Amino acid sequence: MKKIRVLIIDDSASVRQTLTRVLEEDPEIEVIAAATDPFMAARKIREEIPDVITLDVEMPGMDGITFLRKLMAQKPIPVVMCSSLTEEGSETLMQALEAGAVDIILKPKIGAADHLAESAERIRNAVKAASKARLSNVRLPVLGDKVRPQAKLTADAVLPPPTGRAMAKTTEMVVCIGASTGGTEALREVLEALPANAPGIVIVQHMPEKFTAAFARRLNSLCEVEVKEAADGDAVLRGHVLIAPGDRHMLLERQGARYHVSVRTGPLVSRHRPSVDVLFRSAARAAGSNAMGIIMTGMGDDGARGMDEMRQAGAYTVAQDESSSVVFGMPKEAIARGGVARILPLDQLAREIMLAHSKF
């Protein structure tokens, strides 16, 4: 099997060493070079073109955003931004996504063994997803030992399966959306096209903590609907969008005829936290036929099982099509599992939401 060749760009020697070790613990990944700044990186790229670049934001000589813009204009290569966990950095990372980066990872930190294992798994998964990214759909303006993947938990780890009992119809429809690699800009396109009276929407986008708050603020500044990072107990209301906080699961719950979200910690589900499977299963349990589920661009199968559960509970389910997806992993798995009622391109998803709402 041809390995995924990675170029690391970071001015910190310890970060370069740690990232190299983390990535090369996976037999499918090879670090071909590490550069201290964009100028050295440019020379490395002339010698050998990598499949994926991990790029620091703050570096001497030229910052990561400037380098990213130059790279995407001259020789597009999938880029994963690597950042420290700061509020300021989260705002800058939004610019990186706008400039064409396909994903964000947090710099690995030395700490508890379980935290390190989760962090390393997320980094490797981000690089693998980036290697499969279709850039034409990215919108521009222990050493020596190979680690075993962590056990892949299902949503059973957070909440039990749906009961199968029919859900009483309410006067409100709720839309549940799941996305991963390529999803930040795809979600922007969908939400920007929605009117202020759109149905209540809850979203899981795979993204580190802190960055989901910045992402929500950015969307709120662009859209007619109100967008915020979800807090435990937030009501799901017409014209409002709730985005699951990074590193927390988000569940849809119902009290009488009203819906709210529960934000909680828990194990990784389908190797993610937040997990689309958790959100979709909770929607199957709490909303049934009152819900619409949409699964969008991303690698892996998070959401496929949950979407099937939503459809069996009576929900209307839609998948983004292959031609408009940056990575056609999650939609493909949901389709293969039988949980998808309709497949649509990205530019038709907002219209489909409002059409479904009009028929509710």
Cβ atoms of 94 and 82 within 8 Å: the answer is no
Which residue has 């795979």 as its token pair? 206
Compute the mean pLDDT over every residue in the chain, rounded to the nearest whole number.
89
In this structure, the number of other CB atoms found within 10 A of the CB of residue 359 comes to 8
140 pLDDT band, cuts 50/70/90, is low
Where helices occur in the chain by DSSP H, the ranges are 13-24, 38-47, 64-74, 87-98, 113-131, 183-192, 211-222, 276-286, 304-312, 330-337, 349-359
223-273 pLDDT, tens digit per residue, is: 999 999 999 999 999 999 999 999 999 999 999 889 999 999 999 998 899
Distance CA 9, CA 317 (A): 41
For the chain, give me the number of helices (H) and strands (E)?
11, 14
Mean pLDDT confidence for 109-115: 57
Q: What is the pTM of this model?
A: 0.86
User: Which pLDDT score, from 0 to 100, does residue 143 have?
Assistant: 31
Q: DSSP string covering 275-334, please?
A: -HHHHHHHHHHHTGGGEEEEE-SBSS-TTHHHHHHHHHTT-EEEEE-TTT-SSBSHHHHH
Kindly list the structural domains of the chain, giving each domain's residue range(s) and its CATH number in brackets, ordered by start.
Answer: 4-137 (3.40.50.2300), 155-359 (3.40.50.180)
**Which amino acid is present at 16?**
R
Distance CA 19, CA 135 (A): 24
Residue 138, pLDDT above cutoff 90: no
25-78 pLDDT, tens digit per residue, is: 999 999 999 999 999 999 999 999 999 999 998 887 788 889 999 999 988 999
Which residue has 């194990």 as its token pair? 267
User: Which pLDDT score, from 0 to 100, does residue 157 have?
Assistant: 59
List all residues 6 or more positions away from 97 whose beta carbon is below 8 Å from its beta carbon.
81, 104, 184, 185
Distance CA 300, CA 322 (A): 14
Distance CA 274, CA 267 (A): 9
Query: What is the set of active-site residues?
Result: 180, 206, 302
Distance CA 67, CA 79 (A): 11
User: Which pLDDT score, from 0 to 100, does residue 57 have?
Assistant: 85
Distance CA 154, CA 270 (A): 6
More confident: 338 or 110 = 338
CA distances from 356 to 169, 171, 194, 198 (A): 15, 13, 13, 11
Distance CA 287, CA 279 (A): 11
Give the rounded percent of residues in the chain with a pLDDT score beyond 90.
70
Torsion of CA 98, 103, 108, 109, to 10 degrees: 60
More confident: 115 or 352 = 352
Distance CA 14, CA 351 (A): 48
Torsion of CA 179, 182, 185, 188, to 10 degrees: -10
Cβ atoms of 57 and 64 within 8 Å: the answer is yes
Closest CA to 278 of 255, 311, 244, 254: 244
